[in-house]
């Protein structure tokens, strides 16, 4: 995405946010509450009034109370009252609640946007007493089971294709949140009815009948012109049906309407008691992967301080920087021949594996055809229609990954068949992928994420169409050595930008250290990027991003590449500073692996409804040979 | 005397700006309950503030306090993804919006707002008042005691800084390698 596009995206996000409106009833209530508090007299006057009023109202209140009791004791509960009792009883239930949603397409629903990744056979289990939650579902024929155990601060995830149970740690606060959420769930009919009333909606008309041993309540909402909040509009139009067990007063079934589809939810209580994930049908001999150690990997990294280890460097003027820059450019240009590469990355916020999210980049080079496709992914993604982590994450095989990637539109991509090229970008505050035909030009390659592109200190010539980088004013490039790692070569670059802002000189600086191993084809060992202001008052705002390459491998043809590295962001201590970003990468390069021709074709062949944006007007460069 | 004056100002502020202030808090924070809580906190702070009681421009003081409140909350909270989408301020809905798009949009908005919380007060105010609250430059300038040109400049600087922070947090490996040489 260009800089201009990024600016537009931020502005559009802000404008979209500005166009949202809270419910007017909600606003009125908030304002009214403040007004009530402002109108309250001072405490001393308030006490006198209370005492004076007590005597006056007590007699009347007592009489009224007696009258109400007499009337209520002899009047049968209305359907609405019985439904409210059932809603309250369900909300108060403590124990296992088992929920089976069944979503059916409505006859008037538009053509389904259901993707191959939509979960099916969903069953949820919630323990409203201790916060344990388990979800079972299927995606692409694979069975998945997720279970959270707040008491042990654990999340367990099982996938049938992976045939393993992964155990991640969840933070204490997250665990508490799960307990609270479970206690507030499920079937928040009571809350929903209360919210509807608060929002000014007309109370629903409730009728009841017997239905095969259950009491069936029909809720219909009068269309009397009163405003209806958007989130309740479908329910208000279609109504709602609730089936209640007359003995226990617990809700057993509910029919509602959402996103143009009927949703039927069956609920049961108590048995089966779920002690662990294996009680949900996960084979007991399944391999258990304890990923809680991953959290410890990052727990030691204190990212609120500047980088703990600064290499002790000394310049090495004997290094021919032109030759090094040329050598690195050559490695990038040579690449890895015909290959397919898969880069998986996962974020580890706060050092925990909860709310896992990541991405996958698929690279391919086949003759003149190339592609670079970037996808967002999360293990719980299929529940929300997103891409999940494929089996054997984070090093899935192509057989694991491709079936999941194929039906999904990348967030951004560059594709060429050698003669034509297309780009996919996601635009707007609600990013929507759009495709455009672009001039055949450079396609990002896996080699570019391995070796840095350096400016040539002295050479300014290049071939036609080649993008070259020159040293400019305020930029430096030097070779350095680390006294602790003498086998490595360090490339140290800085760029400084100075501009005047409101009469004040502002200087921004970018600094890079690339530590490479010349004995292994200049493999990256560590990269450090530091940026921030140069002014004295900005010294505590400098951010450092480090990439530490932990594993490398050698391909059959002798070429090296890194296979695993981690990325840390470190900021100086500031009030309210957040821990830095933590991310891990895993790279697989598969020489001579091939993708089907359709991967390199116009993306609209696989995604006919992909909208098109205006043709690119970028620089005309010749295709790579 | 200050107590009565403050009370009068609060009442006037509530009448004239209450709805807009609440809506702004609801936009800057991801939950209805939170917006209500911060709204009450806002008026509590204003009620206790001697500066508010004597300010030449109490509206400006109130807006600044409201924005700062929301940003304080953002900086201090645990940045988990929003747990309950149904608590989010109602957004203009479209039948074309998929759950993925809604999720990405909400995350994007959250990231922009988180990045915003790290900017200077002036940049933050200009960004919120101009781009989110859609106030004209001239009005913002009057509120902040600056020229419209200065406000434009602060808005541009705010957007640039937000972009840099977003890029620092969400770079693809290719972006990381490209660094400052593109």
- What is the secondary structure of chain B as a DSSP string? -HHHHHHHHHHHHHHHHHHHHHHHHHHHSS-HHHHHHHHHHHHHHHHH-HHHHH-S-HHHHHHHHHHHHHHHHHHHS--PPPS-GGGSPP----TT--HHHHHHHHHHHHHHHHHHTTS-HHHHHHIIIIIIS---HHHHHHHHTS-HHHHHHHHHHHHHHHHHHHHHHS--HHHHHHGGG-
The pLDDT tens digits for A165-201 are: 878 777 666 666 666 666 665 556 666 777 777 777 7
Q: Is-contact A452 A329, C-beta < 8 A?
A: no
Q: Which of A185, A381, A430 to mutate to test the interface with B (most CBs of B within 10 A)?
A: A430
Q: Which residue of A has its CA nearest to B77?
A: A576
Contact at CB, B179 and A385, closer than 8 angstroms: no
B6 compared with A82, residue with greater pLDDT: A82
pLDDT of amino acid A307: 46
Mean pLDDT of A99-122: 59
Res. B175: pLDDT tops 70: no
- Mean pLDDT within A405-427: 88
Coil, strand or helix: which one is A445?
coil
Phi, psi of B181 (to 5 degrees): -100, 0
Q: Do A361 and B169 touch (CB under 8 A)?
A: no
Q: CB of A469 within 8 Å of any CB in chain B?
A: yes
Task: Please report the pLDDT score of residue A338 as a whole number.
Answer: 95
In the structure, what pLDDT confidence band is assigned to residue A382 with cuts at 50, 70 and 90?
low
Give the per-residue pLDDT at A411. Answer: 87
pLDDT value at position A185?
Answer: 56
Predicted-assembly ipTM surpassing the 0.95 threshold: no
Q: Examine the pLDDT at B10 and tell me if it is beyond 70.
A: yes
- The per-residue pLDDT for A143 is 84
Q: Confidence band (pLDDT; 50, 70, 90) for A47?
A: very low
* CA-based nearest distance A212→chain B, Å: 34
**Would you place residue A457 in the very low, low, confident or very high pLDDT band (cuts 50, 70, 90)?**
low
Number of other residues whose CB lies within 10 A of the CB of residue B84? 10
B23 and A22 in contact by Cβ < 8 A?
A: yes
B27-48 exposure pattern, b = at least 16 Cβ within 10 A, e = fewer: bbbbbbebbbbbbebbbeebbe
Q: Which of A93-97, A117-121, A249-253 has the lowest mean pLDDT?
A: A117-121
What pLDDT was estimated at residue A373? Answer: 95
Average pLDDT over residues A315-321: 92
* CB-based contact B91 A37, cutoff 8 Å: no
Query: Whose structure tokens read 């993804």?
Result: B81
Closest residue, chain B, to A230 (C-alpha): B90
CB distance B98–A23 less than 8 Å?
no
| pLDDT of A524 | 96
pLDDT tens string B145-164: 888 888 999 999 999 999 88
User: Which residue has 């917006």 as its token pair?
Assistant: B35
The answer for A 49-108 residues in CB contact with B (under 8 A) is: none
pLDDT of residue A622: 33
Distance CA A504, CA B151 (A): 16
pLDDT in tens, A202-257: 778 888 999 999 999 998 887 766 767 777 777 777 788 999 999 999 999 988 87
Mean pLDDT of chain B: 77
Q: Who among A384, A450, A529 is closest to B99 (CB)? A: A384
Rounded CA-CA distance A295/A351 in Å is: 5
Among A297-311, A548-562, B25-39, B105-119, top mean pLDDT goes to A548-562
Return the residue in B174, B178, B182 with the most chain A beta carbons within 10 A, the one to mutate for interface testing.
Answer: B174
Q: Is the pLDDT of residue B107 over 80?
A: no
pLDDT of residue A188: 63
Strands A543-554 and A523-533: antiparallel
Query: Which position has the higher pLDDT, A496 or A352?
Result: A496
- DSSP reduced 3-state for A197: helix
Q: Which residue has the higher pLDDT, A622 or A154?
A: A154
As a whole-number percent, the residues of chain B with pLDDT over 70 amount to: 73
Q: How many alpha carbons fall within 13 Å on the CB side of residue A28? A: 6
- Judge: B134–A15 Cβ closer than 8 Å, yes or no: yes
Mark yes or no for CB contact B14/A34 under 8 Å: yes
- Give pLDDT, residue A15: 85
* Residue A585 banded pLDDT, cuts 50, 70, 90: very high
pLDDT at A67 > cutoff 50: no
Lowest mean pLDDT segment, chosen from A299-308, A611-620, B51-60: A299-308
Q: How confident is the model at residue B85 (pLDDT cuts 50, 70, 90)?
A: very low
- Interface probe for A, chosen from B36, B159, B181 (most Cβ of A below 10 Å), is B181
* Residue among A23, A38, A430 whose CB faces B104 most closely: A430
- Where does the pLDDT of residue B101 fall: very low under 50, low under 70, confident under 90, or very high at 90 and above? low
Average pLDDT value for residue range A449-467: 62
Distance, in Å, from the CA atom of A177 to the CA atom of A150, rounded to the nearest integer, reads 9
Tell me the pLDDT tens digit for each residue of A535-563.
666 666 677 888 999 999 999 999 999 99
The answer to whether the Cβ–Cβ distance between A20 and B90 falls below 8 Å is yes
Q: Where is pLDDT greater, at A225 or B171?
A: A225
Top pLDDT among A199 and B20 is at B20
Whether chain B has a CB inside 8 Å of the CB on A21: the answer is yes
What average pLDDT does this structure show over A152-174?
76
Q: Is the pLDDT higher at A57 or at A249?
A: A249
A246 to chain B, closest Cα gap in Å: 30
In the 8-state DSSP scheme, what is residue A470? Answer: B
The pLDDT of A498-522, averaged and rounded, is: 79
Residue A570 has pLDDT above 50, yes or no: yes
pLDDT at position A22 is: 82
For chain A, report the end-to-end CA distance as a whole number of angstroms: 25
pLDDT average, residue stretch A494-507: 66
Would you state the torsion angle of the CA atoms of residues A560, A565, A571, A573, taken in this order, to the nearest 10 degrees? Answer: -140
In b/e form, how buried is each residue of B118-140, taking b as 16+ CB within 10 angstroms?
Answer: bbeebbbbbbbbbbbbebebeeb
- In whole angstroms, give the CA distance from residue A79 to residue B29: 39
Three-state SS string over A264-285 comes to EEEEEECCCCCCCHHHHCCCCC
Query: Is A497 a residue whose pLDDT tops 90?
Result: no
Kindly report the average pLDDT of chain A as a whole number: 76
Task: Note the pLDDT of residue A371.
Answer: 95
Mean of the pLDDT values across residues B124-153? 89
Beta-sheet pairing, A164-169 with A287-290:
parallel
Chain B residue nearest residue A409, CA to CA: B100
CB contact under 8 A, B133 and A18: yes
Tokens read off for A343:
């880069």
pLDDT classification of A28: cutoffs 50, 70, 90: confident
Beta-carbon contacts of residue B37 (< 8 Å; ≥ 6 apart): none
From A195, A204, A198, select the one nearest A80 (Cα to Cα): A204
CB proximity A18 to B under 8 Å: yes
Would you say A478 and A457 are in contact if contact means Cβ atoms under 8 Å apart? no
C-alpha span between B55 and B44 (Å, rounded): 16
Contact of A183 with A128, CB cutoff 8 Å: yes
A543 vs B: CB within 8 A? yes
| pLDDT, tens digit (0-9, with 9 covering 90-100), for A463-482 | 444 444 444 456 788 999 99
CB A216 within 8 Å of CB A241: yes
Stretch among A262-276, A290-304, A367-381 having the lowest mean pLDDT: A290-304
Helices (H), A79-125: 79-92
For A:243-282, CB contacts with B below 8 A are: 260
Question: Which pLDDT score, from 0 to 100, does residue A294 have?
Answer: 58
- Most B CBs within 10 A among A30, A511, A576, hence the mutation to make, goes to A30
Among A215-229, A380-394, B130-144, the minimum mean pLDDT is found in A380-394
Contact A229, A28 (CB under 8 A): no
Q: What is the pLDDT of residue A18?
A: 86
Q: A310 pLDDT band (50/70/90 cuts)?
A: low
Question: Which residues of chain B neighbour A177 with C-beta distances below 8 Å?
Answer: 80, 83
Q: Note whether A431 contacts B104, CB cutoff 8 Å.
A: yes
Q: How many of the other CB atoms lie within 10 Å of CB of A461?
A: 7
What is the number of CB-based contacts under 8 A between chain A and chain B? 191
DSSP labels, A208-272: EEEETTEEEEEEE---SS----HHHHHHHHH-EEEEE-TTT--EEEEEEEETTEEEEEEEEESPS
CA closest to A456 among chain B residues: B181
Q: Is the peptide bond before B14 cis (omega within 30 degrees of 0)?
A: no
Q: Tell me the percentage of chain A whose pLDDT exceeds 90.
A: 28
Q: What pLDDT score does A534 carry? A: 60
Q: Is the pLDDT of residue B86 over 50?
A: no
């Amino acid at each position: 995405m260009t800089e201009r596009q990024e600016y537009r995206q931020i502005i559009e996000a802000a404008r979209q946010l500005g166009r949202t409106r809270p419910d007017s009833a909600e606003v009125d209530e908030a304002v009214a509450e403040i007004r009530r508090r402002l109108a309250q007299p001072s405490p001393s006057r308030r006490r006198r009034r209370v005492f004076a009023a007590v005597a006056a109202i007590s007699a009347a209140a007592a009489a009224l109370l007696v009258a109400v009791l007499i009337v209520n004791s002899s009047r049968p509960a209305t359907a609405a009252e019985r439904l409210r009792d059932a809603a309250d009883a369900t909300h108060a239930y403590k124990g296992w609640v088992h929920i089976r949603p069944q979503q059916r397409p409505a006859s008037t629903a538009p053509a389904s946007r259901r993707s191959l990744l939509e979960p099916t056979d969903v069953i949820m289990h919630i323990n409203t007493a201790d916060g344990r939650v388990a979800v079972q579902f299927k995606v692409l024929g694979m069975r998945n089971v997720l279970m959270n155990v707040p008491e042990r601060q654990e999340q367990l995830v099982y996938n049938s294709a992976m045939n393993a149970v992964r155990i991640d740690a969840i933070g204490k606060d997250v665990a508490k949140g799960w307990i609270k959420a479970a206690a507030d769930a499920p079937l928040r009919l009571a809350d929903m009815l209360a919210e509807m009333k608060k929002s000014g909606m007309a109370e629903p008309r409730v009728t009841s009948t017997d239905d095969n041993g259950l009491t069936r309540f029909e809720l219909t909402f009068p269309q009397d012109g009163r405003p209806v909040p958007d989130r309740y509009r479908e329910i208000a139009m279609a109504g709602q049906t609730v089936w209640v067990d007359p003995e226990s007063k617990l809700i057993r079934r509910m029919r509602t309407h959402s996103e143009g589809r009927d949703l039927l939810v069956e609920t049961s209580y108590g048995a089966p008691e779920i002690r662990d994930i294996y009680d949900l049908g996960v084979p007991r001999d399944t391999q258990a992967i304890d990923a809680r150690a991953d959290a410890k990997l990052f727990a030691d990294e204190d990212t609120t301080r500047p980088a703990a280890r600064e290499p002790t460097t000394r310049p090495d003027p004997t290094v021919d920087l032109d030759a090094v820059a040329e050598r690195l450019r050559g490695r990038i240009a040579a690449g890895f021949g015909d290959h397919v590469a898969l880069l998986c990355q996962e974020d580890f916020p706060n050092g925990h594996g909860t709310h896992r999210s990541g991405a996958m980049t698929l690279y391919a080079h086949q003759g003149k055809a190339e592609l670079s496709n970037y996808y967002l992914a999360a293990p719980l993604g299929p529940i929300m229609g997103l891409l999940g982590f494929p089996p054997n994450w984070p090093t899935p095989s192509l057989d694991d990954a491709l079936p999941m990637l194929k039906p999904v539109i990348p967030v951004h991509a560059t594709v060429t068949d050698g003669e034509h090229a297309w780009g996919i970008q996601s635009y707007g505050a609600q990013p929507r992928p759009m495709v455009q035909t672009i001039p055949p030009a450079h396609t990002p390659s896996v080699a570019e994420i391995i070796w840095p592109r350096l400016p040539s200190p002295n050479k300014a010539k290049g071939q036609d169409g080649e993008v070259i980088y020159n040293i400019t004013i305020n930029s430096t490039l030097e070779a350095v050595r680390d006294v602790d790692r003498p086998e490595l070569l360090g490339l140290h670059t800085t760029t400084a930008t100075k501009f005047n802002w409101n009469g004040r000189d502002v200087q921004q600086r970018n600094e890079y250290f690339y530590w490479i191993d010349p004995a292994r084809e200049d493999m990256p060992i560590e990269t450090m990027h530091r940026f921030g202001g140069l002014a004295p008052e900005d010294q505590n705002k400098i951010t450092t991003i480090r990439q530490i390459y932990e594993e490398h491998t050698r391909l059959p043809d002798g070429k090296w590449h890194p296979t695993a590295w981690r990325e840390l962001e470190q900021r100086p201590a500031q009030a309210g500073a957040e821990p830095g970003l933590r991310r891990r990468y895993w790279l697989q390069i598969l020489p001579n692996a091939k993708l089907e021709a359709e991967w390199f074709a116009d993306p609209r062949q696989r995604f006919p409804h992909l909208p098109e944006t205006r043709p690119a007007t970028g620089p005309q460069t010749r295709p790579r040979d | 005397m200050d107590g009565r004056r403050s009370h009068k100002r609060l009442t006037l502020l509530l009448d004239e700006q209450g709805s807009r202030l609440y809506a702004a808090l609801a936009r800057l924070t991801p939950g209805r309950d939170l917006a209500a809580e911060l709204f009450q906190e806002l008026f509590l702070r204003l009620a206790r503030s001697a500066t508010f009681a004597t300010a030449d421009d109490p509206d400006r003081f109130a807006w600044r306090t409201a924005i700062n409140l929301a940003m304080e909350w953002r900086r201090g909270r645990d940045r988990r993804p929003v747990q309950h989408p149904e608590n989010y301020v109602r957004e203009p809905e479209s039948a074309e919006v998929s759950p993925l798009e809604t999720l990405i949009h909400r995350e994007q908005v959250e990231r922009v707002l988180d990045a915003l919380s790290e900017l200077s007060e002036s940049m933050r105010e200009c960004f919120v008042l101009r781009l989110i609250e859609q106030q004209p430059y001239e009005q913002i300038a009057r509120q902040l005691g600056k020229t419209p040109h200065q406000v434009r400049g602060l808005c541009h600087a705010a957007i640039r800084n937000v972009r840099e922070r977003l890029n620092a947090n969400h770079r693809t490996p290719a972006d990381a390698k490209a660094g400052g040489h593109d």
